[in-house]
Amino acid sequence: MKRTLPVVGMACAACSAHVEKKLNSLEGVHSASVNLPGRSAWIDYDPETISPAQMKRAINDIGYDLIIDEDTSAAAIERREFQRLKRQTLLSWGFSVAVMAVSMHWIPLGNAFPSNLAAMLLTVMNMVICGRQFYVSAWRQTLHASANMDSLVALSTLIAFLFSVFNTFLGDAVWTARGMAWNTYFDASVMIITFVLTGRMLEEKARDGVASSIRQLMGLSPKTAHIVGEDGKTREVPVSTIEVDDELEVRTGEKVPVDGIVTRAQSFMNAEAAYVDESMITGEPLPVEKKAGDRALAGTIPSQGIFHIRARQIGEETALAQIIRMVQQAQGSKAPVQRIVDKAAGIFVPVVCLLALLTFVLWLVIGGTPLLPQAILSAISVLVIACPCAMGLATPTALMVGIGKAADQQILIKDATALERMRRVNVMVTDKTGTLTIPNQQIDFTRAGDLPLEERETLKPNAREAMQQLQKEGIEVYMMSGDHDEAARYWATKAGIAHYQSKVLPQDKENLVRRLQQEGKTVAMVGDGINDTQALALADVSIAIGRGTDVAMDVAQVTLMGDDLRALPQALALSRRTVSMIWQNLFWAFIYNIVSIPLAAGALHLIGIDFQITPMWASALMACSGLSVVLNSLRLKWTK
């Protein structure tokens, strides 16, 4: 069984890596992939060996939660969590302003209540009320011999706080007695928490746009339907109560609740037909005529008329539900580069802790006890500025946006590997009947005087434009047809295709794909029938036409839901842009950490430059780095 379940409590790449590792370690789980920006886990498991409740308990043990109740809305949980995060952030800013006010003596408190003591109490309140989640999470991670972003935040703020408490009560006795000045750093503790919370809140808000495609698809499913009783009267019922063979009435403007067969239809234009807008599923702009015996799909909307349907596929079996599931699984899949990033994220936090310790030791070696405050602050800055979030979000965020944008254009991509491979395609092999031409129509090749061929126009709209665009981009196109030579040449010419083969069998299509691959080409195969499945299975990228056979769609990695073949060059262009965005994100994420960690450690002091990133600014930069990756990925949504 395969399911996509929401995960609560993940904050960085290390979190998603821990959840994924735990799920994959469970007996009965065949494979699991965790999507950080999507806050979800795609799990393939044996229900006879392990249940969702057992998986939930295992995830709870390591400090996270798996939502297994189908009645619990993941969107509602996310909204509730965002509101809680928003309240914490605003309150933390209030504590930050108060701590700064007393620390900088903007508010005179007098000798009866020293400013350091007031700052300490305010900081404790901020850590307990607003930052409690960091310490709870860090403790749970420690119990399981692991660490994540929360561990860095908890460790850095505790060090700054404890050092400040020490100075508050023993500063004069220890430092002043030795002729050394001392300070407290309560403002650093409180500002680190504030900036991290602010960054997460902004990141969550921006991430809301990343998952918009899935929400739009889910929004196509109505909550209620009109069921026709034995007495012929209709009543409104929840969609979840509909059973196979129930008769349903669908009115103008309502959404079809399930997949079914039309039993009767009427409209003011036609006494025996209604007209349905299927553009949200197929991308076709014109309403489709529906008569008795025709199939109606869940999520489509009658634009004219009223009709009855007999329920055939309900719940998770509808075409819309399968599309949603395919997009979710694709967004949760991992590109090859993500495997490398996951391994890096797994050791990132421990490495940062070692770098912070090394920074502390080096400062003490260089300057001894007088530089102890500098050593502590430098170590704190290193802990805070390091950001596994940016690195962990770089790939999955771009993938979610890219695959979601493809779904908006009626291009369904099964996994990240297919999306990554499409950018390298330089040869496309296409079937003719049902792919380039409209099925179930024939051509009369009888000679008529000197007019060379009589024909009825059956080439799909925009097919020639699509083929020309592909070839303009340097992609060779081959048309494969079972027709005789004259017909194959005719249709190849009509479609603007230079290379074609006639009288081909399924094995011939497979042989062509294999030969092109042996020549070092990256081959995409486009087809719609059972006779295309051999070639589809062998191709580097397999593309099925959505109105083709279920077998072809099952084999294919990419499915075009409509008949507009311009989606082919669009899919390839989107692949190139998405992969380019992934590498941009990874580049800046790695550059950020490579540059910022030495600056936070105070490396410039070694060459005589008196500059260093303080803990407060380190937390601000860390928050901005993760947010920048999400915002950069969102640019894909507005790319034409």
Contact 629, 390 (CB under 8 A): yes
The per-residue pLDDT for 353 is 92
pLDDT at 199: 84
Marked catalytic residue, from 150, 259, 415, 431: 431
Distance separating alpha carbons of residues 627 and 1, to the nearest angstrom: 35
Give which of 152, 584, 145, 136 is closest to 388, Cα–Cα: 152
Whether 431 sits among the annotated catalytic residues: the reply is yes
CA pair distance 131, 193, nearest whole angstrom: 6
Q: Which two tokens stand for residue 435?
A: 């792919």
Q: Which residues contact 177 (CB under 8 A, 6 or more apart)?
A: none
Rounded to 10 deg, the angle between the 132-143 and 115-129 helix axes is: 60
* Residues whose CB falls within 8 Å of the CB of residue 441, separated by 6 or more in sequence, listed in order: 456, 458
Which residues have a Cβ under 8 Å from the Cβ of 564 and sit 6 or more positions away? 283, 284, 460, 461, 462, 466
- Residue 20 has which token pair? 């994924």
Q: How far is CA 184 from the centre of its chain?
A: 43
Look at residue 15 in the predicted model and tell me its pLDDT. 85
Task: State the CB neighbour count (10 A cutoff) for residue 476.
Answer: 16
Spell out the long-range contacts of 589-592 with Cβ–Cβ below 8 A and sequence spacing 24 or more: 589/387, 589/390, 589/391, 589/393, 589/394, 589/625, 589/629, 590/391, 592/387, 592/390, 592/625
Q: What is the pLDDT of residue 455?
A: 47
Burial class (CB in 10 A: 0-12, 13-18, 19+), 598: middle
Q: Which residue has the tokens 């305010």?
A: 122
- Residue matched to tokens 């925009």: 462
How far the first Cα of the chain sits from its last, in Å, is 37
Angle at 598 between CA 594 and CA 600, to 5 degrees: 115
Low-confidence ranges of the chain (pLDDT < 70): 70-75, 109-113, 208-213, 283-284, 439-450, 452-456, 547-553
Residues 6+ apart with CB under 8 A from 24: 31, 32
Task: Give CA–CA dist 225/322, Å, rounded.
Answer: 20
CA distance 271 to 47: 50
Contact 590, 391 (CB under 8 A): yes
Q: Which pLDDT does position 344 carry in this prediction? A: 76
pLDDT tens-digit map of 369-418: 888 888 999 999 999 898 777 777 788 888 888 888 888 888 888 888 88
Contact in structure between 73 and 30 (CB atoms under 8 Å): no
Burial of 341 (0-12, 13-18, 19+ CB in 10 A): buried
